Chains A and B, each alone.
Chain A
Amino acid sequence: MSRLDDIAAIRAEFPQLSRLIHGKPLVYFDNANTAQKPRAVIDAVSGYFTEHNANVARAVHTLGEEATSLYEAARDKLARFVGARSREEVVFTRGTTESVNLVAYSFLRPTLKPGDEILVSRMEHHANIVPWQLIAAETGARVVPAPITDTGELDVEGTVALMNERTQLVGLVHVSNALGTINPVATIIAAAKARGIPSLIDGSQAVPHFKVDVAALDCDFYVLTGHKLFAPTGTGALIAKREHLDAMPPFMGGGEMIRRVSFEGTTFNDPPHKFEPGTPNIAGFIGLGAAVDWLEAVGMDAIAAREARLRDTMRAALGEVDGLRLIGTARERAAVFSFVVEGAHAHDLATLLDHEGVAVRSGHHCTHPTMQFFGVPATVRASLSFYNTEDEIAAFVAALAKVRRMLA
């Protein structure tokens, strides 16, 4: 018995899902872009403002103590949720993008030399490409693309073959936002580790869908973003091995991240606070804590099982559509589907689907190199979450048929 068995009750906890769009029930298939928020998260955020509003880690009054303990409790919750070795290994950031930049600038750049290599796959989000390119351009290092196959899977052998004594870091997306592929991250992390190469896994699209155990994966860095995890925007985390956090210089300076400041020299706070300068997005992280609580109460295994059924239904339904080509047909995949349709441009489809109440994303999904590999400028992407239903898949397919007739 899972709470997901009563899907109507679950959906009722997400107020946005009952909206009408152009007079039609919203079918929200843009979860890979950002997820909707349950009432528990919305209430936690507004509860902070209505009852506890105060700054963290500096006020000794009651409100300050409350805000600090709620904020730090969110760190404990996230640490447990992703299987971090300790709460000190969880650095709060504004999201995946900031987490990757933090690693690029504080961990890698100080030691990067001309000729060094940073190996990232051809299916990375720009957030796991561009920061590396920036520090590579400054230091004379090189960003090397790891190969993928025509099915949108990582070419594991080809990737391992590119690891060498010049490789300073391996970056890999856990679940591709553009293709839906679930990557064999444990294999790549182990191969990198065997060669003494640190690894960074982009878990943005993994943590919302299945249980992740960062300690078991044993990667050096795991990054995630809160808004795809049913939490507010402007929240995210870097989970990093303590030895790295101890050795890394701060990314940004300011209050909160220091122990003692003088003009002769400043000593820094311990991790994770060393990497959290200034007043953070307190309400947002309290919301992130609430999101994690909510997900654990429902159960990540139940969520994964339901999404696997939705994925299979969606895959079969898309297979029935004439002239539709799936971009990414990996065996191990999430309920994220990119596709192109003969004779209909992705943007036209997305705009017209919106008029039918269906929210999908169209474009390049911040993965230009992936799109170039498949030779398409843009795709339509339908990304599902546990709160979606088989009825919505049917409504989506009917809407797709209707808008195609319009464009024909």
Chain B
Amino acid sequence: MSAHPSTLYSETVLAHNRAPRHCGCLADATHRGVAENALCGDQLALTLRLRGDLIEAAMFDGESCAITTACASMLTAALHGAPRARVGELRMVMTAMFRGDATAPGEFAAFAELRHHPARQRCALLPFDAALSALQPKE
């Protein structure tokens, strides 16, 4: 197959989309959150297991586009063993990257091209928003 003009659908993104990691629901989740993309109706559910402020495990569930799926796959991997504050920090770096002001760490840098696809940025933010919603104190 010839090289594609877009680096948005890079091999990194496509590989995660084909075989996403941490897909499903944690049976022993302590936190659960959902986020929705109004543009396409995609819904993503995220389950987390926390001990204190440390995230021990994360999984995601839902049918979504390649961008959302790949990002959810990366995020759930990045959150294993991370402090809960990591979600917000990473999201901030992502939005800064979309403005051209930063480069996100590791594989998340694969989404830099979203700077030129404003309509698709929400797709990559969806897993972060599901995680933030999971971590939000509930009544």
A351 touches B8 (CB 8 A): yes
Residue from B6, B39, B123 within 8 A of A352 (CB atoms): B6
A348 within 8 A of partner (CB): yes
Q: A368 contacts which chain B residues (CB < 8 A)?
A: 41
A345 touches B41 (CB 8 A): no
A363 touches B65 (CB 8 A): no
B6 touches A355 (CB 8 A): yes
A351 to B116, CA, bound (A): 12
A369 to B63, CA, bound (A): 19
A363 touches B39 (CB 8 A): yes
B5 touches A345 (CB 8 A): no
Q: A355-B4, A406-B14 are in contact. Are A348 and B41 (CB under 8 A)?
A: no
A363 to B43, CA, bound (A): 13
B5 touches A355 (CB 8 A): yes
Q: A363 contacts which chain B residues (CB < 8 A)?
A: 39-41
Residue from A355, A364, A377 within 8 A of B63 (CB atoms): A377
For the complex formed, measure the closest distance between the CB of B8 and the CB atoms of chain A, giving whole angstroms. Answer: 7
Q: B12 contacts which chain A residues (CB < 8 A)?
A: none
A345 touches B39 (CB 8 A): no
Q: A22-B5, A351-B120 are in contact. Are A407 and B14 (CB under 8 A)?
A: yes
Q: B42 contacts which chain A residues (CB < 8 A)?
A: 345, 377-378
B67 within 8 A of partner (CB): yes
A406 to B123, CA, bound (A): 19
Residue from B1, B5, B40 within 8 A of A377 (CB atoms): B40
A377 to B67, CA, bound (A): 16
Q: A22-B5, A352-B9, A377-B63 are in contact. Are A347 and B40 (CB under 8 A)?
A: yes
Q: A355 contacts which chain B residues (CB < 8 A)?
A: 4-6
Q: A351-B120, A352-B6 are in contact. Are A407 and B17 (CB under 8 A)?
A: yes
Q: A347 contacts which chain B residues (CB < 8 A)?
A: 39-40, 65, 67, 120, 123
Q: A405 contacts which chain B residues (CB < 8 A)?
A: 1
Q: B135 contacts which chain A residues (CB < 8 A)?
A: none
Q: B9 contacts which chain A residues (CB < 8 A)?
A: 348, 351-352, 406-407
A347 to B65, CA, bound (A): 6
Chain B proximity mask over A337-364: 1 for CB below 8 Å, otherwise 0 = 0000000011110011001000000111
Q: Is the interface of B mostly helix, strand, loop or mixed?
A: loop
Q: Chain A residue with minimal CB distance to B17?
A: A407
Q: Chain A residue with minimal CB distance to B64?
A: A345
A407 to B69, CA, bound (A): 12
For the complex formed, measure the closest distance between the CB of B88 and the CB atoms of chain A, giving whole angstroms. Answer: 26
Q: B5 contacts which chain A residues (CB < 8 A)?
A: 22-23, 355
Q: Chain A residue with minimal CB distance to B1?
A: A405
Interface size of B as a range: 20 to 34
Q: A355-B4, A355-B5 are in contact. Are A362 and B120 (CB under 8 A)?
A: no
For the complex formed, measure the closest distance between the CB of B89 and the CB atoms of chain A, giving whole angstroms. Answer: 27
A371 within 8 A of partner (CB): yes
Residue from A352, A364, A406 within 8 A of B41 (CB atoms): A364
For the complex formed, measure the closest distance between the CB of A10 and the CB atoms of chain B, giving whole angstroms. Answer: 30
B65 touches A371 (CB 8 A): no
8 A Cβ contacts from A352-401 to B: 352, 355, 362-364, 368, 371, 377-378
B66 within 8 A of partner (CB): yes
Q: A351 contacts which chain B residues (CB < 8 A)?
A: 6, 8-9, 117, 120
Q: B41 contacts which chain A residues (CB < 8 A)?
A: 363-364, 368, 371, 377-378
8 A Cβ contacts from B15-57 to A: 17, 39-43
Q: A364 contacts which chain B residues (CB < 8 A)?
A: 40-41
Q: A348 contacts which chain B residues (CB < 8 A)?
A: 9, 65-67
Q: Chain B residue with minimal CB distance to A372?
A: B41
Q: B120 contacts which chain A residues (CB < 8 A)?
A: 347, 351
8 A Cβ contacts from B91-139 to A: 117, 120, 123
For the complex formed, measure the closest distance between the CB of B67 and the CB atoms of chain A, giving whole angstroms. Answer: 7
For the complex formed, measure the closest distance between the CB of B75 and the CB atoms of chain A, giving whole angstroms. Answer: 18
For the complex formed, measure the closest distance between the CB of B74 and the CB atoms of chain A, giving whole angstroms. Answer: 17
Q: Chain B residue with minimal CB distance to A24?
A: B5
Give the interface centre of B4, B43, B117 by most chain A CB atoms within 10 Å: B4
Chain A proximity mask over B56-72: 1 for CB below 8 Å, otherwise 0 = 00000001111100000
A378 touches B40 (CB 8 A): yes
Q: Chain B residue with minimal CB distance to A347?
A: B65
Q: Chain A residue with minimal CB distance to B120?
A: A351
Q: B67 contacts which chain A residues (CB < 8 A)?
A: 347-348
A368 to B39, CA, bound (A): 11
Q: Chain B residue with minimal CB distance to A408?
A: B18
Q: B4 contacts which chain A residues (CB < 8 A)?
A: 352, 355, 406
What are 20 A-B pairs at a CB distance below 8 A? A22-B5, A345-B64, A345-B66, A347-B39, A347-B67, A347-B120, A351-B8, A352-B4, A355-B4, A364-B40, A368-B41, A377-B40, A377-B63, A378-B40, A378-B41, A405-B1, A406-B4, A407-B9, A407-B14, A407-B66
Q: What is the interface of chain B, defined by CB distance below 8 A to chain A?
A: 1, 4-6, 8-9, 14, 17, 39-43, 63-67, 117, 120, 123
